[in-house]
Every structure is written in structure tokens, then in C-alpha cells.
Amino acid sequence: MNQKKLLKYLFIVIVIIAFVLTSYIIYEKYVIYSFVKNVNFPKQQKVVTILSIPQKRVTVFDVDYGQVFNLASIDYYSYAIGIKSGNKIGWIDIYDRENIDKSKIKMYNFDASDSYLYSDEFFELFSKKSSYGTFLSILIKGKNVPSEVKQKAQAEVERINEENRNEYVGW
């Protein structure tokens, strides 16, 4: 096979891979947006991706909704934080001041199949996000979360607390 034909086939393969990846990303976003839309949040704002790890099929997302409320001159909204991992999707935290219909809320069901969400890699990636503490708290309280993962999450909370104590010494 000459070099020109090889380059042509290589180009075709690259185009096909790009198409498949683009289709997958669009599908994943569609699933998340459909999930959020189903709740029918009042005055919903846009869905924001907090963390995306496409090669592991994991997305952490959030959405603000409802009336703005002011606390200490800072505007806040009700919010919900969700995770999509593989074919599973659900909320991990909801701060609701709007009294939404709770029957439409599907919490994420952590279980033994969520091995990537329990991995050191995921903890490290998520640790840079503001909702990391919520994630750890949910793992610690989760009824289907393996006990070694609960212990790992508890140790991480203790590490963060100690780090914060040391940071504020001398104030």
C-alpha cells in the first residue's frame, strides 16, 4: 500500500473516531439535561459541568434554580448537584428553598459498582471542586457504600479539617 492510500485511510479512521466521540458527548449531555428537566426546577438556570471524565463516563454537574436570596450581601440560589456515572445518574445534594416536588428527585444510589467513584484518581480530581466535601459526606452516610470507602472518605474529611486548622493557626 502506498503512502497516499495509507494517509487517506488514516484520515478516514480519525474522522470516524471524532464522529463517535462527538456523538457520545452529545448523548451524555442529552441524558443529563433530560434528567434535570424532569425535575422541573422553578426558574432553572443553566446546567454547569463541575467535573467531566469522558474516558470513565463520569460527569458531576449542578444547577441553580429559584428566587435569589441574599445572605451577607451575597446572592444565593437553591441548587442541586448530580453525578452521572456509566448508566447511573442521580442527585448527591439538594439545597432547596423553593419547596420543589420531592417525588421527582432521584438521589444517586452509591453501591459496590461505583469503583471508579471510590478511586484515588477520582478523589484527587474531585478534591479541587467546591462540592467535594458534600461528596465525602454522602459517601460516609451512604447505606450501600462499601465500609472501606466510608473509612477512606472519613479519613479524607479528617485530613481536610486538620489542613484547615493548621492554615488558620495564628489568626
Cβ contacts of 43 within 8 Å, gap of 6 or more: 65, 66, 67
pLDDT at site 94: 93
pLDDT at site 8: 83
For residues 115 and 81, the answer to whether their CB atoms sit within 8 Å is no
Whether this model's pTM surpasses 0.85: no
pLDDT at site 37: 94
The pLDDT averaged over each successive group of 10 residues in the chain (171 residues) is 81 79 76 94 94 92 91 85 95 92 92 94 92 92 93 93 72 51
Question: Distances from the Cα of 78 to the Cαs of 39, 74, 98, 105, in angstroms?
Answer: 13, 13, 7, 14
Question: Distances from the Cα of 24 to the Cαs of 27, 31, 35, 57, 118, in angstroms?
Answer: 5, 11, 17, 10, 24
pLDDT at site 69: 82
pLDDT at site 156: 93
pLDDT at site 20: 73
pLDDT at site 169: 54
pLDDT at site 163: 82
